[in-house]
Structure 1
Amino acid sequence: MILYFSGTGNSEYAAKRIGKEIGDEVTNLFERIRNHDFSAMRSDRPWVIVSPTYAWRIPRILHAWLEKTALSGSREIYFLMTCGGSIGNAEKYLKKLCSSKNMNFSGCFPLLMPENYIAMFSTPGREDALETIRLAEDHIDNAARLIKGGKKFPQSHLTVKDKINSSIVNDIFYPVFVHAKKFYAADSCISCGKCADICPLGNIHMDNGKPVWGEDCTHCMACICRCPKEAIEYGRHSMGLPRYICPK
């Protein structure tokens, strides 16, 4: 079974393409994470977790959900992480997670996809995004072939920087940068409430027709990128940048 978490669609696209290639069920974890649903799941085929990379590891909300949810049946588990550059030393922390769940870690596959972290970086236009995805598709299919053949993903070459990014930088990054203080809705907001509906943590509520952000944010960028009027900004950095939703 393929389980995915996705804010702007990169991981969703990869998960569904793998599901089609190997003929396996694909499940969106959005509702389970949002509703704190940790009820057990079962699959007789290997588990495949498809996730974005947040500060060189899987998102903490996904890690917490995996810790609390019993995955029965197959003990084999693969991870595929979409990223804008690198997944760092994410594998180290995934191995620990698998060990704690008595599951067999079958590798972590890094997949370069279009940058979506509009809070800090520039997001691509449609044509650039499509080209990046085109280049990624062979890698997705290769990952699918390895899963289908019961082979482990190859181990990535690690640098000292990778190890620092996934440990010290990750530990600093979350408390310092991962908050919703800079999100706001401009006058072009039409009070549709979509941002509140798509927040995986239920961190947004509508007040007098305008979204208000709470303190429980994971920086998935779903609200800012999926706003139909591009009315949400993140400080001054996002102004003028194209919003990114996976075009495929």
Structure 2
Amino acid sequence: MAAAIRPGGKGGGSMIYYFSGTGNSKWAALRLAALLGDAAVNLMDPGRESPSAGEAVGLVFPIYAWGPPKPVAEFAKGLQGEAAFRYGVCTCGENAGNAMELLHKDFPMDSAYSLVMPNNYVLGSQLESDAIVREKLRRAKERLPEIAGEIRARKPCWQVEKGPQPRLRTKLIHPFFDRFATSTQPFFATDACIGCGLCARNCPAHAITLVDNRPEWKGNCYLCTSCINRCPVQAIQYGEKTKGRGRYVCPEE
């Protein structure tokens, strides 16, 4: 679906901000923007526009360990002004836990949705087959017009698949992930690296620099897995966890 969107531009009375590592949330945000006639903007873009007073505001983002990614949470805290309508759409492999309730504390939402998308967390497990990826995308395409219709009607709605033990997962596992699981130390590039620099250019945490045409990681990252999944020669690994596993970038990004 082609979207008449100019980065940072205004759409039909709404601004959609998205965060995306491997393309799932970007894909969802752009399709949603096209359905609504609104603007979709990467919230990591330093030149992004701020929402106008009285404008509807939406956040589209992936779920990280049953919570919102750090940059999304930080961005939400900084949103000022009275929005006509606030909503959030989280993309997840299966369920979101209490991620939307957690975000709601800093970004009070009128509506919240979860959208099941292909699994991209190569650090945790082998990725899904092409058939499962296609089926998940097909279902997401069918679901997005329903979400867009409710947003257009400014209909308060909370349709989030939380999964089992959502409170426990979001309250205990997510803070542990944010504090202890985002070190860059396990990352390394194998001899297959071609020095293209794509990983450094795409890193939203600016945690990668090229030294002698080889990537080096410093500090902490968001663990978006963009560098691992987008490497054109699959040269980037995360310790032993990613060896022998597939890679994923949204095929319709």
TM-score computed with the length of structure 1 as normaliser: 0.89
Cα 1:38/1:247, change in 2 over 3 Å: closer
Number of residue-to-residue matches in the alignment: 238
Deviation at 1:45, TM superposition (A): 3.6
Tell me how far apart the structure 2 counterparts of residues 228 and 135 of structure 1 sit (CA, whole Å): 28
Q: Please, which of 24, 38, 45 is the counterpart of residue 31 of structure 1?
A: 45
Q: Please, which of 182, 198, 205 is the counterpart of residue 178 of structure 1?
A: 182
3-state SS, counterpart of residue 144 of structure 2: helix
Q: Please, which of 48, 54, 78 is the counterpart of residue 64 of structure 2?
A: 54
43-52 vs 191-200, greater mean Cα deviation:
43-52
Tell me how far apart the structure 2 counterparts of residues 205 and 242 of structure 1 sit (CA, whole Å): 24
Cα 1:140/1:211, change in 2 over 3 Å: same
What is residue 209 of structure 2 aligned with on the other side? 205
Cα 1:238/1:157, change in 2 over 3 Å: closer
Q: Please, which of 80, 85, 89 is the counterpart of residue 76 of structure 1?
A: 85
The answer for unaligned runs of 5 or more in structure 2 is: 1-14
For the Cα contact (< 8 Å) 1:106–1:153, is it kept in 2? yes
The answer for unaligned runs of 5 or more in structure 1 is: 100-104
Letter aligned with residue 96 of structure 2: I
Deviation at 1:214, TM superposition (A): 0.9
* Structure with more of its chain in helix, by fraction: 1
Cα 1:157/1:136, change in 2 over 3 Å: closer
TM-align CA RMSD: 2.0
For the Cα contact (< 8 Å) 2:91–2:117, is it kept in 1? yes
Deviation at 1:199, TM superposition (A): 0.4
What is residue 167 of structure 1 aligned with on the other side? 171
What is residue 107 of structure 2 aligned with on the other side? 98
For the Cα contact (< 8 Å) 2:85–2:154, is it kept in 1? no
Tell me how far apart the structure 2 counterparts of residues 84 and 61 of structure 1 sit (CA, whole Å): 20
Tell me how far apart the structure 1 counterparts of residues 132 and 183 of structure 2 sit (CA, whole Å): 29
What is residue 77 of structure 2 aligned with on the other side? 67
TM-score computed with the length of structure 2 as normaliser: 0.87
172-181 vs 52-61, greater mean Cα deviation:
172-181
Q: Please, which of 11, 16, 24 is the counterpart of residue 2 of structure 1?
A: 16
